[in-house]
Structure 1
Amino acid sequence: MAEAEEDFSSLPLPDRFVHKNWKVRKEGYEAAAKEFDLATSESNPVVRQFIQDSGIWKGVVGDSNVAAQQEGLKALCSFLQIAGTQGCTRTRNYTIATIAEKGLPSTRPAAKQNALEALMLYVETDKPDPVIEELLPILSHKQPKVIAATLDALTQIYHAYGCKTVEPKPVLKALPKVYGHADKNVRAKAQELTVEFYRWLKDAMKPLFWGDLKPVQQQDLDKLFEKVRDEPPPKQERLLRSQQAAKEAAAAAPTVVEDYAEEEEDVVIDLEPEFEPVDVLSKIPKDFGERLASSKWKDRKEALDEVQKLLNVPRIAEGSFDDLIRGFAKCMKDANIAVVTLAANCVELLAKGLKRSFAKYRSTIMNPMMERLKEKKQSVTDAIGAALDAVFASTHLQDCMEEILEFLKHKNPQVKLESTRFLIRCLKTSREAPSPAEAKTIAEVATKLLTESQEVQRSAGAEVLGTLWKIMGDRIMNAHLDGLDDIRKAKIKEYYDNAETRAKYKPKPVAPPKAAAPPAGKRPMAGKRPAPGGMKKPAPTVAAPPPPPVEEPAAPLAPKPTSRPGASKLAGPKSGLAAPSRLGGLKKPGGGIPGPPAGTASPRRPIVSPPPEETAPPPQPKLGLAPGRGLAGRPLGKPQAEPAAPTPLQAPIGLSLVERAELDELRAEVERLRRQNEELRGDRTKLTSQVHELQNQNAQLIEDHTRDVLSIKAKETQLVRARSDYEAAEQTVQNQRREVDRLKRELSRQVRATSPPPTDLADQIYTDTNGVGGRFGDSGYGTQGLHSRRERFANGPTSPGGEGKENFDGSLSRPGSNLSGKLSPLRADASSVRSGSSRGGGRISPVENVGSRIGGTQAAAGAESWKRAAEVTQNLKQRIELMKAKQGIGRNPQ
C-alpha cells in the first residue's frame, strides 16, 4: 500500500486529476492548490500547464466524490487568483455550467462557498457578461434545487459587484419565467434577487418584467420593496481587476483630483429594452411633400397622421431623413395648430427612434420649434416641449447651448418663458456638466430674468440658477450669486435644495509634471543637458562624425565604454557639443566664443529637461570628461551648471504637496457633504412619505367634513320644511276656527231671523177646550219646563186639575224666561196644526209639530242635544196619548 501511495505522489498533477481513485484525485487537488498559492505569476510552469490544458477543470469541479469536489473547487479558486485573464477566459466555458449544476447545490457548505467564490473570481478576473450568459440557461434546469442555487448565486454576484458593473437587463428579462415555476423555493429566491435589483435600480427596472407578473406577485413584491425603499444607495463591495488597477493608478497620481471610488455612480445603467430597428423611410408615401404643401389643412393633417403612425415604433433604422425634417420644420410655421401639434409629435417619435443618430438634424428643426413656442395654447407648447426634450436627448448640452441662450433673450415673453423651462429640463437631464464659461453665460442670462416684470419669469430664472448651482457647486456659483439680495438668494436656495440633476461638475485633472519628460527625450538636440544624460553608453558607430551625435540620446547603451577608450573620449565631447556647435555656428571651442551658445541654451534648458531625474546625472559626465580631452568641456560645462535645473522643479514639488494637503481636505469635505446629502435625502424621503400620509389624512378629514356639512344642511332643510308645514297647518287651523265662528254667527243670525217675536205660550196652550195646554204645561216639556216644574213642586203643592196653571203661565210669559223665547214658535205651530187638523181631520198632534220644530232648532247644537230632545219629545208624546186616551180628546168632534 505504501508503494502505491509513493507511486501516486510521483504522478504528475494532470494524471492525478483524472485518476480513478477519488483519494488520489483529492490529494492531487490539494497539492495543486499549494502549488498555485506558491506561484508568483501566471508564467509559472505549473500554472501555464493548467492554462494550456483548460478542459481538465470540468472534471475537477464536477467530481463525483463530494470530498474531492470540495478540494477541486478550492484548487480552482487558487488557480483563478494567479492565472489572470488568460486562465479565466480559457476555463470558464468548461467550468461555469458544471459549477452551477453540481457545485452550487452541494450539501457541503464549504463546497458551496468555494463554488460561489469561483464564480466571483470569474467575474472579477475578466468581465461579468460571459458568466451571466453561462448562468442564464441554468434557470431552465429540470431540477428546482439547481435553479434556486443559481438564483442565489446571481443575487450574491449583483450584491457584490452591483448593477453598474454587471449588466442587469438579461436577468430581469428572465425573471417572469422563474416566477412561473411550480417550486416555492425557486419563487422565493427569485423574490430575493428582485429585491436586490430594486436596491440598485428602484422603479426603473419595472418596465422590463413587471407587466408579465401576476397581480398577487406584484403585491408581494411591493411589500418587500417597502422594507428597502428608505435604505441608502448600495455601493459596490468587490472590484474587478481592471477597476483595481485603475484605483491603484489613481492613488499613484496624487495630482489627479477625481479619483474617488464614489465617482463610479456616474455610470449609466441602460435599462431600455432592445428592439429591432424598423425601416420607416421606405414606407413613407412618395407624395408626402406634395400633400404637405397642399393649401387645405386637412390634406396636410392627413399626411402627418400617416407619417406619425409609421414613426410610432421603438427603434428606427438609420437613413436620410433630411427631406422629412425640412417638411416638419416648415409645418412649425403652419397657421393651423393641429398641423403644428402633429409635426411636433412626429419629430418627437423620430428623435426617440433614431436616438443619437438624430443629432445631425438638430440644427434644422430646433430653431423653428423654439420660434413656435410663442403659441399660447398649452397643448401646442406641450407637444413642442416634448419634441425639444427628445431632440436634446439625442445631442449634448454644449450643442444646444447657443440656440437656447439666443432664445432666452427673445422679445416675445412666451418664447422666453418656454425657452427658460426647456433650459431647466436640459440641465436636469444632462449627464454632462457645462464648462465654467458656459455656466457664467447661463448665470448672467438667468440673473437678468430675475428682474422681469412677470413673476413666472422671475421664478424660472431663479430655478435656472438653483439647478446650475446644484451642478457646478459652491465655488463656481458663489461669484454669480454674491450681488443678489437675500430674498432672491433664498428663492434660488429653495430651488437648489429641490433640484435633482444627473450631472456633477468635475474640475479637469491637473497634468502631472512628468508629462514634460517625453518632449525632453524626443528633442535632445535642442539643448545641452540631454546629451550627458544620453551618455550612459554612446554608440561607437555614431561617435566619429560630428552631426550624428544628435541622435545618440535616443539610443542609450551601457554607461562605461571599455573596448574603445579613444572613441569614448571623442564621443563624450561630441555628443555634448553637437547641438551647441550647430546653434552657435562653432566648430571649435574658443576662449570667449562659448558665451553665445551658452546664452542661447540656458533659457531652453529648463523646458527641454524639466524632470529632476534628467538633471541629476550631469555631474557624472563632467567627471568622465575630465581625464579625456577637455577642449570643449570647460566652456560648455560652466554655462550648463549656471542655471540649476532642479531649482524650477522644486516649485512644482512644493505646490504638489500643498495641493495634496488641499486635496485631502477637499476629499474629506466631499465625503462629509456626501454623507450629509445622503442623510438629508433619507430625511427628505421620510418627510415626503409623512407629507403624503398627512395629505391623505387631510383629504379623508375634508371628505368627512364635507359629508357632515351636507348632512347638517339636509337636516336644516328638513327642519325649515317642517317649520313651514307647521306654520301652514297653524294658519289653516286659524282659518278653520274663524270659519267655524263665522258659521256659528251666521247660523245664529238665521235662527233669529226666522224666529217670530216671543209670545205668550200659555195663551195658545190653554186655549184648547179639552185642557191640552194644562196637561202640556204639566208635562214639563224641555229642559226649562222641567226645571220650572221642579221649582213649582218644591215651592208648594199643585192641583192636578189645573191649579198650577197660573204658575206655569207666569213662568212662560215672564220676559226673561228662556223657555218662552225657545217655545215662541210653538204657539203658531200649534194653532196651525189645530186649524189644519180641524179642517182636514188629520191625526197630527200640535205637540208633535212643536217637538219636530224644537228638534230642528236643537240639531245645530249637536248630535247629543238632538238625541236628548228626541227622548223628551217621545216621552211627551206618550204622556199626551195617555191623557187623550183617558179624557177622550183624540176623537174627531164631528
Structure 2
Amino acid sequence: MAEGEEDFSSLPLPDRFTHKNWKVRKEGYEDANKQFEKTPDESDPVFSPFLQDPALWKGAVADSNVAAQQEGLASYCSFLKYGGAQACVRTRGSTIAAIVEKGLPSTRPAAKASALEALLLCIELDKSEPVIEEMLPALSHKLAKVIAPALAALKGIFHNYGAKLVDPKPVLKALPKVFGHADKNVRAEAQNLTVELYRWLKDAMKPVFWGDLKPVQQQDLEKLFEAVKQEPPPKQERFTRAQQEAMAEASAAPGGEEEEGLAGEEYVEDDGGEMDAFDLAEPVDVMPKVPKDFHEQLASSKWKDRKEALDALYNAFNVPRIKEGPFDEIVKGLAKSMKDANVAVVTVAANCVDLLAKGLRKGFGKYRSLIMSPILERLKEKKQSVADALGQALDGVFSSTDLSECLEETLEFLKHKNPQVKQETVKFLIRCLRTTRDVPSKAEVKSIADAATKLLTESSEVVRSGAAEILGTLMKIMGERAMNPYLDGLDDIRKAKIKEYFDTAEVKAKDRPKPIVAPPKPAIPAAGKKVVGGKKPASGLKKPTATAAPPIEEPAAAPQSKPAAKGVPSKAGGLPKPGGGLTAPGAALKKKLGGPGGLASPQRRVVSPPSEEAPPPAAPKFGPGRGLAGRPIAKPTPVPEPAPIAPPATPHVGGLAAIERAELQELRAENERFTKMVEELRAERSKLNLQITELQNQNAQLIEDHTRDVLGIKAKETQLVRARSDAESAEQSVQKQQREIDRLKRELARALRATAISPPNTMADTASMGIPEMGSMYQDPISHDNYSQPRMGLHMGSRFESARPRSYVSASPSEEKENNGLESPGFSSRESALGRRKLSPTFGTGYSGMGSPTRSSLLGSGSASGEDQPSRVTEPAENWKRAAEVTSQLKARIEQMKARQGLNRPAAQR
C-alpha cells in the first residue's frame, strides 16, 4: 500500500483524475483544488491540461463514488473560480448536464452545494443562456429525483441573478409539464420556482403558461402570490464578472465616492429595464385576424357598423406582442375615427391604438405623426371614460417613442383655445416627464419651462396646478440649480407649490445631473487644501497673490502691515541687516497691500476685514516665518511696547484702518439695506405682476361679457326691426283688405241698385190678376213662374232680412244706430226692416224697390230718379210715413188673402 501511495502521488493530475481507484481520484481532486488556489493568475500552466481535455471534469463531477464526487465538484468550483471565463467556456458543455444529473441529486449536502455553486459560477463567468439550455432537458427526465433538484437549482439561479439577467421564457414554457408530473416533490419544486419567478415578473408571466394549469393549481398559486405581493421588490444578489468590472471602474473613477459606486451597481442592475408580458411573449401576426371588410364597415354611415369593425380589430390586437406589418391604412382609419360623432366609436378606436402601440413598442414610432394630433384634438370630449381611453392611447404612443419626438406637438396643444384640451394635455405632459428615461436637452427644458410658466396665470385651477406640477417634475429631473433661472420671476406662493410637487415627484430620468455636479468636487477641495494647508511662507503667500483666488489667507497676513510699516523707515535709514529676515515677508505683504502705504491696492478692501484685524497684534514682526502660529516668538511682550515711541507712522496707519473699517461697516449696512430693498421691490413687482395678470383676466372677461351683451342687444334690435316691418306689412295688408272690402261693398250696392231700377210687377197688377192666384203665389212662391219676379222680391226681402250678415246691412254700426233711431216704435220687425232697407246706403234702395207691393210705394221708394233721391235724403220723416202707409196697406191685403185662402184650402190642397 505504501509503495502504491507513493506511485499515486507522483502521477500527473490528469492520470489521477482518470484512475480506477476512487481514493486516487479523490486525492487527485484535492491536490488539484490546492494547486488552483495557489495560482497567481488565469494563465498558470496548471490549468492547461484541463483546458485541453474538458472530459476530465465530466468524470470528476459525475464520479461514481460519492466521496470522490464531492471533492471533484469542489475542485471544479475552484477551477472555475481561478481559471476565469476560458475555464467556463471550454468545460461547461461537458460538465453542466453531468452536474444536473449526478451532482444536484447527490445525498451529500456539501456535494449538492458545490454542484449549485458550479452552475452559478458558470453564469457569473460568461452568460446564462448556455447553462439554462443544458439544464432544461433534465426537466423531462424519467426520474423524479433528477427533476426536483433541477427545479430547485433553477430557483436558486433566479434568486441570485434575477429574471432580468437570466431569460425566464424557456423555463416558463416548461412549467406546465412539470406541474402535471405525478411526483408531489416535483410539483412542489415547480410551485416554489413559479413563486420565485413571480417575485421578479409579477403578472407579466401569466400569459405564457397560466392557461395550461388546472384551476386548482391556479388557486393555490394565487394564494402564494398574495404573500409575495407584500414583500419588497427583489434585488440581484450576485453579479457577473462584467458587472463586477463595471462597478469597479465606477468606484475607481476620479472623484468617485462610495455612493456613486452604489449608484453604479443600481444602474447595472436596472439596466435591463422592467420585465413585462411584451418581453416574455412571442410576436403574433394579427393581420389575418383583421376583418377583410374592415375599411368598408369603418366608412359606414351607421355607427353600429363602425363600432363592430373596431371591436373586431380590438380582438385581433389583444395579444401581448404584435408582429410588425403594414398597419398604415389601419392607423389612418383609427385617426379618422377620432373625429367620429359617436363617443363609443371614439373609445374603441382609442383602445385599439393603445393595444397596437403596446404590441409594437418601438415599431409603432413611425405611425406617431398620423395618430397623435387627432387624439390630442379629441381631448375636448368632457366624458371621463372617453378622456381616460384617449389618455391611455397617448401613453401607448409615447411608450413607443421618446420625449423629444412628442414634445413639439404637446407644447402646441398646451396653447389650445379649448380649456378641456389644455387640461388633458397638461396631464399627458406630466406623465411623459415621469416615465421618460431620457433627460431633456437644455432647449427642451427651456421650452417646457416657458410653456408651464405661462400656464401658471390661467383662470382654471386645474391648469395652474398642472403647470406647477410640470415645473416640479422637471426640477426633479434637472435639479434645483438648473431650474432657478426659470423660477426667478415667480412669487413665493407659486414657488412653494412647485417645491411641493418637486418633493413628491417620482421620475426615472435623474442620472444625468450626477456627472454634472461631480467634476467640480475634486477642483474645489484641492485648491482649498493648497491654500489653507500650505505653511511655507514664500510659496504659500505668492501663489494666492498670483491667482487672487482665496481671500481667507490674506486677512491672516493683514496685521503684518503694521510691523511692515515700521520696518520701512528703518530700511530707508540704512539698516537692512537687522531686518533681513523680514524682507521677504514684508515684500510679499507690500505686494499684497499695493505698496508701502498700503492704500493704492484694489485688494485692500478684501484684505482687511475687521474680524481678522483684532487678534494679530499679539504676533509682531517675528511672526511671518510661520504665519500666526509663532507662539514662542510672541512671549517677549516688551517688544511691541516701542510702538508708541514712533507715533508718526502707527497712528496714521491705525487711523486709516479705523476709517476703512467704519466705511466698510457703512457699506455693508447699505448693502444690506439695498438687498432688502431689492427683495421688497421684487416681491412688490411679483405682486403687481400677479395683479396685472388678474386684471387682464378680469378685463378679458369684461370684454367678453360686453361683447356678449352688445351682440344680444344687436340681436334684440334686429328682432324689433323685423317685428316692426312685419307689423307695417300686416297693417298695409289690413288696409288693402279693408279697401277691397269697401270696393266689394260698393260693387254690391251698385249691383243692387241696378236690379232695383228695373220696374217689377206692382201690387195693382197683381190684384187685377185675381185673388186665387195671389193666394197660390203666397202659398207656394216658387212653383209658379208667372209670378216669379214679385214673389222673388218678397221672398228675397225676407231672406236677406233673416240671413244677411250685419256688415251687409249697414256700412258701419253708427249708421245702423242712426237708422234705428228714426224707426217708429209702432212698426213691426218686418216694417222696420223695410224701413232700414230704404235708408241703407247699400241694400235699402234695391230691396225696398223689390219688396214694394204697390206701384205707388215702388215709385215713392224704389225709383232712382234724380228728383226723388235728394228729397228722401233731406226729408227722412216723409219717407217713413210713406213706408208706414204702404206697410199697413200690405198687411191688410195679406190678412184678406189669408182669410180667402183659408176658405179655399181644401180645394187648393186637392
TM-score of the pair, normalised by structure 2: 0.51
What is aligned with 2:133? Answer: 133
260, 267, 276: which one pairs with 1:263?
267
Tell me how far apart the structure 2 counterparts of residues 85 and 246 of structure 1 sit (CA, whole Å): 16
| Contact map agreement 2:236 2:269 (CA 8 A) in 1 | no
Compute the displacement of 1:85 (Å).
1.9
Compute the displacement of 1:218 (Å).
5.7
**Are 1:364 and 2:370 matched, yes or no?**
yes
Tell me how far apart the structure 1 counterparts of residues 243 and 335 of structure 2 sit (CA, whole Å): 47
| Contact map agreement 2:479 2:513 (CA 8 A) in 1 | no
Compute the displacement of 1:169 (Å).
4.0
**Are 1:44 and 2:44 matched, yes or no?**
yes
What is aligned with 1:657? Answer: none
Listed as ranges, the matches of 1:656-675 within 5 Å are none
Give the residue type in structure 2 aligned to 1:60.
A
What is aligned with 1:353? Answer: 359
Cα gap change, 1:497 to 1:250, in 2 (>3 Å): closer
Cα gap change, 1:279 to 1:164, in 2 (>3 Å): closer
Give the residue type in structure 2 aligned to 1:93.
G
Compute the displacement of 1:440 (Å).
3.9
Cα gap change, 1:497 to 1:509, in 2 (>3 Å): closer
Compute the displacement of 1:320 (Å).
3.0
Tell me how far apart the structure 2 counterparts of residues 216 and 343 of structure 1 sit (CA, whole Å): 37
Match of 1:326, SS state, is helix
TM-score of the pair, normalised by structure 1: 0.52
What is aligned with 2:350? Answer: 344
What is aligned with 2:402? Answer: 396
Compute the displacement of 1:213 (Å).
5.4
What is aligned with 1:67? Answer: 67
| Contact map agreement 1:277 1:317 (CA 8 A) in 2 | yes
Compute the displacement of 1:14 (Å).
2.1
Listed as ranges, the matches of 1:110-129 within 5 Å are 110-129=110-129
Compute the displacement of 1:263 (Å).
2.2
Give the residue type in structure 2 aligned to 1:327.
G
Cα RMSD after superposing both structures: 3.4
Match of 1:375, SS state, is coil
What is aligned with 1:438? Answer: 444
What is aligned with 1:100? Answer: 100
What is aligned with 2:729? Answer: none
Compute the displacement of 1:113 (Å).
2.0
Compute the displacement of 1:471 (Å).
3.7
Tell me how far apart the structure 2 counterparts of residues 209 and 496 of structure 1 sit (CA, whole Å): 42
What is aligned with 1:329? Answer: 335
Aligned pairs, number: 513
Compute the displacement of 1:494 (Å).
5.4
Give the residue type in structure 1 aligned to 2:236.
Q
Cα gap change, 1:451 to 1:206, in 2 (>3 Å): farther
Compute the displacement of 1:47 (Å).
1.2
Give the residue type in structure 2 aligned to 1:64.
S
Cα gap change, 1:91 to 1:314, in 2 (>3 Å): same
| Contact map agreement 1:467 1:499 (CA 8 A) in 2 | yes
Tell me how far apart the structure 1 counterparts of residues 168 and 117 of structure 2 sit (CA, whole Å): 20
Tell me how far apart the structure 2 counterparts of residues 53 and 511 of structure 1 sit (CA, whole Å): 53
Compute the displacement of 1:191 (Å).
4.6
**Are 1:249 and 2:253 matched, yes or no?**
no
Compute the displacement of 1:123 (Å).
1.1
Tell me how far apart the structure 2 counterparts of residues 229 and 380 of structure 1 sit (CA, whole Å): 32
Compute the displacement of 1:39 (Å).
2.8
Compute the displacement of 1:504 (Å).
2.7
Compute the displacement of 1:422 (Å).
1.5
Give the residue type in structure 2 aligned to 1:507.
P
Compute the displacement of 1:71 (Å).
1.2
State the Cα deviation string for residues 196-247 of structure 1 (Å, max 9, x = none). 4454455555555556556665666566556665554443332211111112
Tell me how far apart the structure 1 counterparts of residues 40 and 401 of structure 2 sit (CA, whole Å): 49
What is aligned with 2:29? Answer: 29
Compute the displacement of 1:304 (Å).
4.2
| Contact map agreement 1:255 1:511 (CA 8 A) in 2 | no
Q: Percent identity between the aligned chains?
A: 69
State the Cα deviation string for residues 502-523 of structure 1 (Å, max 9, x = none). 433423747999xxxxxxxxxx
Give the residue type in structure 2 aligned to 1:110.
A
| Contact map agreement 1:42 1:48 (CA 8 A) in 2 | no
State the Cα deviation string for residues 458-490 of structure 1 (Å, max 9, x = none). 333333334434444444445555655565455
Cα gap change, 1:118 to 1:190, in 2 (>3 Å): same
**Are 1:455 and 2:448 matched, yes or no?**
no
Match of 1:374, SS state, is coil
Compute the displacement of 1:73 (Å).
0.7
State the Cα deviation string for residues 244-299 of structure 1 (Å, max 9, x = none). 11122223322579653122353313231544444444665676556655666566
Match of 1:162, SS state, is helix
What is aligned with 2:85? Answer: 85
| Contact map agreement 1:169 1:271 (CA 8 A) in 2 | no
| Contact map agreement 2:155 2:193 (CA 8 A) in 1 | yes
Tell me how far apart the structure 2 counterparts of residues 340 and 444 of structure 1 sit (CA, whole Å): 33
Tell me how far apart the structure 2 counterparts of residues 171 and 298 of structure 1 sit (CA, whole Å): 45
Tell me how far apart the structure 2 counterparts of residues 397 and 28 of structure 1 sit (CA, whole Å): 62
Cα gap change, 1:472 to 1:137, in 2 (>3 Å): farther
Tell me how far apart the structure 2 counterparts of residues 343 and 43 of structure 1 sit (CA, whole Å): 64
Tell me how far apart the structure 2 counterparts of residues 176 and 14 of structure 1 sit (CA, whole Å): 43
Give the residue type in structure 1 aligned to 2:43.
S
Cα gap change, 1:202 to 1:468, in 2 (>3 Å): farther
Give the residue type in structure 2 aligned to 1:463.
E
Listed as ranges, the matches of 1:650-799 within 5 Å are none
Cα gap change, 1:194 to 1:439, in 2 (>3 Å): farther
Give the residue type in structure 1 aligned to 2:20.
K
| Contact map agreement 2:205 2:277 (CA 8 A) in 1 | no
Tell me how far apart the structure 2 counterparts of residues 71 and 504 of structure 1 sit (CA, whole Å): 49
Q: List runs of 5+ in structure 1 lacking aligned partners.
A: 514-894
| Contact map agreement 1:396 1:430 (CA 8 A) in 2 | yes
Larger RCO, structures 1/2 (Cα 8 Å, 6+ apart): 1
What is aligned with 1:788? Answer: none
Cα gap change, 1:156 to 1:453, in 2 (>3 Å): same
Cα gap change, 1:49 to 1:499, in 2 (>3 Å): same
Compute the displacement of 1:118 (Å).
0.9
Match of 2:277, SS state, is coil
Cα gap change, 1:375 to 1:492, in 2 (>3 Å): same
Listed as ranges, the matches of 1:447-846 within 5 Å are 447-477=453-483, 480=486, 484=490, 487-488=493-494, 491-492=497-498, 495-496=501-502, 499-507=505-513, 509=515
What is aligned with 1:374? Answer: 380
Tell me how far apart the structure 2 counterparts of residues 296 and 81 of structure 1 sit (CA, whole Å): 72
Cα gap change, 1:321 to 1:164, in 2 (>3 Å): closer
State the Cα deviation string for residues 143-196 of structure 1 (Å, max 9, x = none). 444333333333333333233322344434444544444544444444544454
Cα gap change, 1:137 to 1:498, in 2 (>3 Å): farther
What is aligned with 1:706? Answer: none
What is aligned with 2:420? Answer: 414
Cα gap change, 1:203 to 1:494, in 2 (>3 Å): farther
Cα gap change, 1:212 to 1:281, in 2 (>3 Å): closer
What is aligned with 1:237? Answer: 237
Moved over 6 A (4+): 510-513
State the Cα deviation string for residues 57-88 of structure 1 (Å, max 9, x = none). 11110000011111111111121123322221
Give the residue type in structure 2 aligned to 1:134.
E
Cα gap change, 1:210 to 1:62, in 2 (>3 Å): same
Cα gap change, 1:183 to 1:469, in 2 (>3 Å): farther
Listed as ranges, the matches of 1:852-871 within 5 Å are none
| Contact map agreement 1:473 1:505 (CA 8 A) in 2 | no
Give the residue type in structure 2 aligned to 1:443.
A
Tell me how far apart the structure 2 counterparts of residues 454 and 212 of structure 1 sit (CA, whole Å): 52
Q: Does 244-253 or 358-367 show the bigger shift?
A: 244-253
What is aligned with 2:390? Answer: 384
| Contact map agreement 2:161 2:237 (CA 8 A) in 1 | yes
Cα gap change, 1:147 to 1:466, in 2 (>3 Å): farther
Compute the displacement of 1:389 (Å).
1.7
Cα gap change, 1:460 to 1:133, in 2 (>3 Å): same
